[in-house]
Every structure is written in C-alpha cells, then in structure tokens.
Amino acid sequence: MRAVVVHGPGDVRVEERPDPSPGPGDVLVAMEWGGVCGSDISYALHGASGTAVLRHPLVLGHEIAGRVAVLGEGVTSYAVGDAVTVHPATPSDEPLPARLMGRTNLHREVRYLGSAAFDPHVDGGFSTYMVLRASQLRALPSGVGTQLGALAEPLAVALHAVGRLGPLDEREVLVNGAGSIGCLVVAAVKARGAGRVVAADVNAAALDQARALGADEVFASTELPEDVELVVEASGVPDALGPLLHATARGGTVVQVGNLPISPTPAVLADLVTREITWTGSYRFVDEITEAVELLAKGIDLSPLIAGTVDLDDAPAAIPAAGSTAGKVLLRLG
C-alpha cells in the first residue's frame, strides 16, 4: 500500500508499505478520503505540532473515511463495502477521577491517529489501507459519501466546542476565526439551535465560507459586534483575545477551541476580570462524531468548506500549501 509519511520539517514522502491484515476485533478499511488538518500541516512544516515532536517517521492523517475491505475475526457489526468514518482516539485504560467521568478526551494519555505526542508515535490514515478497531468506526448512512464522511471528525471537534457553551436557546453566538474549525462551529451552532450567528476573521475568503455555512453576518476582526453573550474563539491568535473579550457581554462565556501558542505570548485579558467572563477550553471531543454522522444524514451541507481535492501522490506539496488555503483540502486516498 501507499502512505503519506512525514520524516521531518519539509520532508513529506509517499512511501510503499506492506499491506496490513486485521486481527480479531479489527477491520481493514480501504481509505478513500482524508482531510488535511492544521496538525498535519504543522508536522510537515516544522516537524512538530504543539508539544508533540517527531522522533520517528509518521503516517499523517486523522480526518479519514473509506470502505470496509476485510473483517477481522469476531466482527459482525459491519459488512464488506460499508462506508465508514473513523474516531481517531484511543484513551488509556487508567480510570478517570469522578469529576471527569465520561470525559474520555481528558485522559492523561490519549493516543490519536497521526500524532507524535507519544513514543512510539501513532500512525494516521493517509494511506490506501488501514487496520482499525471495529469500535472506532462509524457507519455512514445511505446518501452520505466518504468525501463528506472525512469531515465528520472536525465537525465533532466543533460540536464539542459548542457543547461547552451551554444552552443556546436561540441566542446570538459570535465565532472568531473562520478557518475550518470556525466555519464548522458556525454550522454546528446553527444545527444546535442558535439564533443569530456572527463570524469574524481577517480573511475575506474565509468569511465567504462562514456565510455559506450559515453565518447571518460577518465582520472583519477589527470590527467586532458588542455585548455578545456566547462566543467561540477559533483563531488561536493571542492578539485577537483582547478585542474579543471586550466584545463579550458582562457575565458572558468564551469557549477557546483555537489552539494557543505553547510559548509565552502577550495578550490583553483585563476584560476577563472586569466583565466576569467565563473563559473555558475545548479539546478534541468525546463521542460527538456520532452526532456529526447523524447531522450529515439529516442533510447538513458542509460542501462549501471543501477548498479542493488532491491525489495522494501530490500530498507532499499539497499538505504544506494547505495552510494558506481558506477551507479544507481533501486527499483522494483510494
């Protein structure tokens, strides 16, 4: 089989690897589509993503979908040919404390497809085949192709962030940062019952995509609305925090889903105190990928997010370049 492997900064290759075989409880999936994530881009450009640093070559990719090719012993929940998307996380067996019960994304150790966070690394799914546990698969319903199925994982990230806002009750929501996750947050808050949704970004093309995914109004980031109760910060840009907190209503809530830098960075946070703002983080997701698949079945239209498709052989050039593209670049894996 072929796989997209990062060896270090600026060194992404398409390599031949042996075809895998499923063991008991596993499924061999013939991959069809993979979405390029910011972490894939970071590994390709810098050899690291946040605190996760490459120590060995790594197969990239965790936003993936394909079709069941071979069933391992004991697997009866799928049939050959079924279209599936994938939950990329494997939490540790260590029990969670009672206060975190059910929040499996917050295990001390969560091994994630296409991640160098631990050694040995966990290879991802930018390959023609991949063996996965049957429990990681989510069947795609009739009418939902694997191209859209590859967007279920980032939609799950967005849904988790929206869940951290609390009840929407048809209230207004401001989404700062209209990258892929920000645009999916726009779609998610609409699906979850928000009233008016406003998106802000410095990139006009990104704002066009946010509007196509359901934003009622868009703003340049320097012209934010005032007194918004519910805010999702999806840009991860420290300079945006001061104006964003100032735009948040007194007693309002800000959910931080955009990854902030790991190094000390100045940010204006005074309004956090004087406005008594609740500022909370959002990390990956628990099982919201199941809801994401349900929303795809109900017809949520994520196609405006797709910026383009690229063949697997062109991945070494396309992945680093995807960072300068508004929207989601998809790799054609099979």
Tell me what pLDDT residue 50 has. 93
Tell me what pLDDT residue 125 has. 98
Q: What is the mean pLDDT of residues 188-210?
A: 96
Give the residue numbers spanning the domain of 223: 156-281
> Residue 245 in 3-state DSSP?
helix
Based on the domain organization, do 9 and 125 belong to the same domain?
Answer: yes
Contact between 271 and 246 (Cβ < 8 Å) = yes
Query: 124, 53, 40: which is closest to 89 by C-alpha?
Result: 124
Based on the domain organization, do 78 and 197 belong to the same domain?
Answer: no
Tell me what pLDDT residue 63 has. 98
Q: What is the mean pLDDT of residues 136-140?
A: 98
For the chain, the average pLDDT equals: 97
Instruction: Write out the H or E segment, with its range, that includes residue 317.
Output: helix 315-321
The answer, yes or no, to whether residue 223 has pLDDT greater than 90, is: no
Q: Kindly state the percentage of the chain with pLDDT values over 70.
A: 100
Q: What is the mean pLDDT of residues 253-281?
A: 96
Tell me what pLDDT residue 222 has. 78
Contact between 29 and 23 (Cβ < 8 Å) = no
| Per-residue pLDDT tens over the stretch 32-41 | 999 999 999 9
Distances (CA, A) of 219 to 174, 210, 215, 224, 271: 10, 11, 10, 6, 21
| Per-residue pLDDT tens over the stretch 57-88 | 999 999 999 999 999 999 999 999 999 999 99
Tell me what pLDDT residue 312 has. 98
Q: How many domains does the chain have?
A: 2
The answer, yes or no, to whether residue 170 has pLDDT greater than 90, is: yes
Tell me what pLDDT residue 310 has. 98
Based on the domain organization, do 275 and 313 belong to the same domain?
Answer: no
Domain at 91, CATH number: 3.90.180.10
| Per-residue pLDDT tens over the stretch 5-18 | 999 999 999 999 99
Tell me what pLDDT residue 210 has. 98
Based on the domain organization, do 90 and 190 belong to the same domain?
Answer: no
- Whether 286 maps to a domain, the answer reads no
Ordered strands of the 248-256 beta sheet = 217-220, 197-201, 173-176, 228-233, 248-256, 278-281
**pTM score, two decimals?**
0.97
- Whether 290 maps to a domain, the answer reads no
Tell me what pLDDT residue 221 has. 79
- Whether 114 maps to a domain, the answer reads yes
- Whether 252 maps to a domain, the answer reads yes
Q: What is the mean pLDDT of residues 140-150?
A: 97
